Amino acid sequence: MVDDIVYYISIFLCISLSSYYKKIENADAKRNYGVGLGILVTCLICGQHIYHTLLLVWGNVVIIKCCDKRYVHQLSMVYTWTYLLYMHFNLVSSVYVKWLHQTMALRLVGLAFELSSVEKIHSSSMSSLKLPIGDSDVPPVEPSAVDIISYTCFFIGLHKGPYYKWKIFYDHFKSPFGVMGDCRIITAQKLNKAFVCGLGYVVLSLRYSSKIYYEDDFYVQHGSDYRFLYNVPQLASYFLYSQMLMMLCTSVYTESGFGVYPAKCEPVPGHGPTKRDSLLKLVANTPDAALEQEYNFAMLKCFQNEKLLWGPKMKDTVNGWDLPTRYWFDTNIYHNLIRSTKEVRKASTFFAWSVWLGPTLQQLIFSSTLWVYIHLEAEYSGLYDTTGSTKTAWNIGFTIMRLFCLIYLTPCIAISDPQTALRYYNSLFWMFHFILLIFLVGAVVAYKTIGRRQ
């Protein structure tokens, strides 16, 4: 309870102080203000575990500054992910400490990937290599140790993201965009939405408590249908909580004027502007041109709710969840870490994401089930014509199965004890996994049948 109070007070503290941060004109003073506030937030959230934060940050500082830039991203990721694993198995702390360390891990390892990309561009042997999105927009200067610590501990996005690149952080103090957008209006809209989502979350939590999963009566007095359908309000509760939390976190961004860009530059979550670099430079250096532009906070978008709610495929739902984090794993792990086949890179990305979240039994069940399900969707989409005259029927089928899967996996999110999670799925006889097995066999049979006909 104390951890909850400290965490949310620190978020509202950052929101309220962001308006003062925005008024600071001197870039160095502005950065020092943001870093100092971030260090304060880190100390408040981590408490006695602050030394783990120091080791996580300083270990990466040594790696980034002292190691060969060609391999710095690999060394940084091995060290950071190993340390996250160590903290997961040996550190007894609140989930908020875990979130803060996950945020720092993305920043530190992401910076190492950015610097490695610079080395690839400068290398003559890699001059013709087509780099993934973001690598063409390389960091303008190599950060010092103080820069790395400042970027990692900066208060904006420290609680739980959303993630942003080192170059976005660096450019923030060089560009005038922070005073261009309707920051206060957007912040008020976000806080209103957060209040509505929070109210819905509280109502559902009071009416349908997750504590019932731990009670014997839940498994003795109720049938399998009740136990399965009880996941529906839990899933809705988790959705509302996630929306509320990210609305609060992004309110820090909007109130401080961080992440606002001209709409013509088409900013995307995590990366920032993707087009018209010349326009960016013109607007940054010409006040009259800056006043003529339309600005937005598209870089801060965390969810694509239409994909989350309507799908129709699970792939759509996964792609619509936590967009900045998905950008990080797609850009750095899928496109930039491993040079292998598409399937190997997908598996590696999924594995890295699972370890980053925490390798619990529940996470193992959740990740592996999603992995199999998404591949089964792809197999059936390839075996049959799902885009022709029967598209509507297939989409309805995909939507029903997607919702069935999400409801079935909800206890992996709602239950924190592995033994209780096993007890729950044993009480349902792992029914959805048997359904997946049937569909898997069906896909194999269909593949062989179609192959014989051809």
pLDDT digits (tens, 9 = 90+) for 79-95: 999 999 999 988 888 89
Residue 59 maps to a domain? yes
For residues 73 and 108, what is the distance between their CA atoms, to the nearest angstrom?
9
Please name the residue that has the structure tokens 């885009």: 387
DSSP annotation of 160: T
- Amino acid found at 193: K
For 309-337, how does the pLDDT look when each residue is reduced to its tens digit (9 = 90+)?
Answer: 888 999 999 999 999 999 999 999 988 87
Encode burial over 2-38: b for 16+ CB neighbours within 10 A, e otherwise: eeeebbeebbebbbebbeebbeeeeeeebbebbbebb
Q: Are residues 170 and 312 in the same domain?
A: no
How do residues 428-453 score in pLDDT, each as one tens digit? 999 999 999 999 998 888 888 876 66
Q: How far is residue 318's CA from residue 271's CA, in Å, rounded to a whole number?
A: 19
Which pLDDT value is given to residue 287? 67
Dihedral sign, Cα of residue 44, residue 49, residue 53, residue 55: positive
Place of tokens 């041109």: 289
Contacting residues for 222 by C-beta, under 8 A, at least 6 apart: 230
Out of 142, 174, 206, a domain closes at: 174
Same domain, 317 and 169: no
Tokens 């739902």 belong to 317
Q: 167 with 23, same domain? A: yes
pTM of the model: 0.90
Average confidence (pLDDT) over 123-132: 49
Residue 339 has what pLDDT?
Answer: 76
Q: How far from 354 is each of 72, 420, 447, CA to CA, in Å?
A: 22, 20, 30
Query: What's the domain range around 352?
Result: 304-454
- 207: in domain: no
Domain boundary among 174, 197, 224: 174
Among residues 146, 174, 202, the one where a domain terminates is 174
* Residue 187 placed within a domain: no
- Report pLDDT for 205: 93
Quick one: pLDDT band at residue 347, thresholds 50, 70, 90? Answer: confident
Say whether both 170 and 308 belong to one domain.
Answer: no
Across 93-99, average pLDDT: 91
Residue 169 lies in a domain: yes
Q: Residue 44 half-sphere exposure, CB side, CA atoms within 13 Å?
A: 22
Is the pLDDT assigned to residue 120 strictly greater than 90? Answer: no
pLDDT tens-digit map of 231-250 = 999 999 999 999 999 999 99
Does the residue 248 lie in any domain? no
341 by DSSP, 3-state: which? Answer: coil
The tally of domains found in the chain comes to 2
Q: What is the DSSP letter of 49?
A: G
Q: How many residues does the chain have?
A: 454
Q: Is residue 239 part of a domain?
A: no
Whether residues 309 and 166 fall in one domain: no
138-170, pLDDT tens digit by residue? 566 789 999 999 999 999 999 998 999 998 998
- Residue 278 is assigned to a structural domain of this protein: no
Residue 198 lies in a domain: no
Enter the tokens of residue 314.
């699970």
Neighbour-count burial of 106, counting CB atoms closer than 10 A to its CB (0-12 exposed, 13-18 middle, 19+ buried): buried
| Amino acid making up residue 206 | L
Of 179-183, 297-301, 413-417, which range is least confident?
179-183
